[in-house]
Amino acid sequence: MANQAFLQYISDQLLMLKQAGRYRQPRIIDSPTDRRVMIDEKSYLAFCSNNYLGLANGERLKAAAAAAIREYGWGSGASRLISGSLRPHQALEEALARFKAVQSSIVFPTGYMANLGVISAVAGRKDTVIIDRLCHASIVDGCRLSQARLQVYPHCELNVLEGILKRSQNYARRLIITDSIFSMDGDIAPLPGLVSLARQYGAILMLDEAHATGVLGEHGRGAVEHFKLKDEPDIVMGTLSKAVGSLGGFVAGNSELTDFLRQRARSFIYTTALPPAACAASIAGLKIITGEPQLRQQLRQNTDYLNAGLIKLGFDAVGSMPLGSATPIIPIMLGDEARVMQAAAYLFEHGILIPGIRPPTVPRGKCRLRISLMATHTQADLDCLLDILRGI
C-alpha cells in the first residue's frame, strides 16, 4: 500500500503553495517560440524567451536538424563515452572551439548539467566556492553537489569578495563563479576586476556565459570578448539554448581542461548524449551568430529603444545600470509579489506575455516583470508594449 504519510506531505505542500499564491503551472503554447505565440487560439506578443536572435524557429536551424534526423535518426542511444558520440557531437565541439577562438570544447546535454558537472569536477570537500549572490540556480546546485564550502558575496561587490578571498587562504582550491549577464537582472558582471582578484589571490575564476553567448562581443563570443580581456577566466561555460536557438551546454577552453572534464564531469559521463539533430541545429545557429552581426546590432537597437521608452514612462527599468550598457534582459522592478502578479495578468489580458518573477527565483521584495527582447521584435511591437505598460 502507498505510504500515506508521504502522500499527505505532498498534498500539504501543494495546498500551502496554493494558499501562498506560489503554485505554478506551465502555460501551454500552441505555436513555435517566436516574437508572437499562440495560446488558447489567441495570439500574444511574447517578451519572455531567451531566443534573443530569433533563431529557434528559423528555417536554417530547422533544415539542419531535419537533415541530421534523416542521416542519424533522432535519439543518440547512449551516453557520450559509451556509443552516444555521433559525428555531429564532434562537429559541434569543433565548431564551438572555433566560435570561441579556443583550443577545444566539451558539450553537455544542457547548460544546467554543464554547471553541475563542471563545478563538482573542479571543487571538492577541501575547497571553497565563492559565488555572486545572484548566480543562477544551476551554479548554486553545482556548488552543493561539489560539497565544497559555499560562500556568497553581495551582487558584484568586489571589495567583499576580496575580503572572503583574504580569509580563505587555508582551502586547497578557491573557485570564484559568476554569471556574465545575470539572468534576472540583465546586468553584466565586472569581469576585469574579477579576473584581477582571481589572479592576485591565486583563485580559479569560472564564468557562465549563458545569456552573453551570441549577444555580447563583436563576434557574439560573450563577455570575455565584450571586455576585450587578454587574461581570460580559467573556465568559461555557456549554453546553446538561448541566443543559439538550440539545446545543450558547453565549456570552451584549453584542451586539457575539456579532456579533464570528459574524465570527471558526471553529468557528461552518466547521461544520454544530446540528439545529433540538436547538435546540427546548434552548428547552424553558431554559423548565423558569426556571419550575421546585424542581428546583434538589431537586438541592441531594440534594447536601447525600449529602455528609452520605459524611462520616459517613469519606470525603474534598468535598476542600477545606466542606460546604454543594457542587455536584452530588462527587469521592471515592482517590489511586491501581488503587484507583479497583477501586472503580469493585466499584460496577458492585453495580449502581452511577460512573466512575473518572484521568490524563490528572486529575493522577497524584489519581484519584477522580466522583459526579454529579441532581434526580431519590430518597433511596432515595442511601441505596443510601451503603450500597454502605461496601464500598469
Kindly list the catalytic residues: 183, 211, 242
Per DSSP bridges, beta strands 42-46 and 36-39 are antiparallel
**End-to-end CA distance of the chain, in Å?**
52
Choose which of 88, 111, 142, 220 interacts with ligand PLP (CB under 6 A): 111
Q: Which residues of 110-127 are buried (b: 16+ CB within 10 A; e: fewer)?
A: bbbbbbbbbbbbbbeeeb
Tell me if 328 sits within 8 A of 373, measured CB to CB: yes
Choose which of 76, 104, 146, 183 interacts with ligand PLP (CB under 6 A): 183
* Interaction between residue 138 and ligand PLP (CB under 6 A): yes
Residue 358 identity: R
Per DSSP bridges, beta strands 149-153 and 128-132 are parallel
CB of 249 to ligand PLP, least distance (A): 5
Selected range binding ligand PLP among 108-116, 123-131, 162-170, 212-220, rule: CB under 6 A: 108-116
Give me the 213-232 binding string for ligand PLP, x by CB under 6 A, dash otherwise: --------------------
Q: How far apart are CA 141 and CA 113, in angstroms?
A: 10
CB of 122 to ligand PLP, least distance (A): 16
Nearer to ligand PLP, 210 or 286 (CB): 210
Give residue for cell 556509443. 83
* Interaction between residue 239 and ligand PLP (CB under 6 A): yes
* Interaction between residue 132 and ligand PLP (CB under 6 A): no
Nearer to ligand PLP, 111 or 309 (CB): 111
Selected range binding ligand PLP among 5-13, 207-215, 294-302, 303-311, rule: CB under 6 A: 207-215
Choose which of 93, 185, 208, 225 interacts with ligand PLP (CB under 6 A): 208
Nearer to ligand PLP, 67 or 321 (CB): 321
Nearer to ligand PLP, 280 or 382 (CB): 280
Q: The sheet that has 356-357: what strands, in order across it?
A: 329-335, 367-372, 356-357
Residue nearest to ligand PLP (CB): 111
CB of 354 to ligand PLP, least distance (A): 17
Choose which of 118, 134, 210, 274 interacts with ligand PLP (CB under 6 A): 210
Nearer to ligand PLP, 210 or 224 (CB): 210
CB of 146 to ligand PLP, least distance (A): 16
Tell me if 201 sits within 8 A of 188, measured CB to CB: no
DSSP character string of 27-96: PP--S-SSSEEEETTEEEEE---S-TTS-TT-HHHHHHHHHHHHHH-S---SBIIIII--HHHHHHHHHH
* Interaction between residue 376 and ligand PLP (CB under 6 A): no
Choose which of 136, 296, 300, 370 interacts with ligand PLP (CB under 6 A): 136
Q: In whole angstroms, how far apart are CA 329 and each of 101, 164, 371?
A: 26, 30, 6
DSSP character string of 169-204: TTSS-EEEEEESB-TTT--B--HHHHHHHHHHHT-E
* Interaction between residue 370 and ligand PLP (CB under 6 A): no
* Interaction between residue 241 and ligand PLP (CB under 6 A): yes
Largest CA distance in the chain: 63
Q: How far apart are CA 384 and CA 55, in angstroms?
A: 23
* Interaction between residue 112 and ligand PLP (CB under 6 A): yes
Choose which of 84, 214, 217, 249 interacts with ligand PLP (CB under 6 A): 249
C-alpha cell, 270: 552518466
Count of residues that interact with ligand PLP, criterion CB under 6 A: 14
Choose which of 49, 51, 104, 110 interacts with ligand PLP (CB under 6 A): 110
CB of 43 to ligand PLP, least distance (A): 26
Tell me, rounded to whole angstroms, the distance of Cα 263 from its chain centroid. Answer: 25
- What is the number of alpha carbons within 13 Å of residue 57 lying toward its C-beta? 14
**Which parts of this chain interact with ligand PLP (CB under 6 A)?**
110-112, 115, 136, 138, 179, 183, 208, 210-211, 239, 241, 249
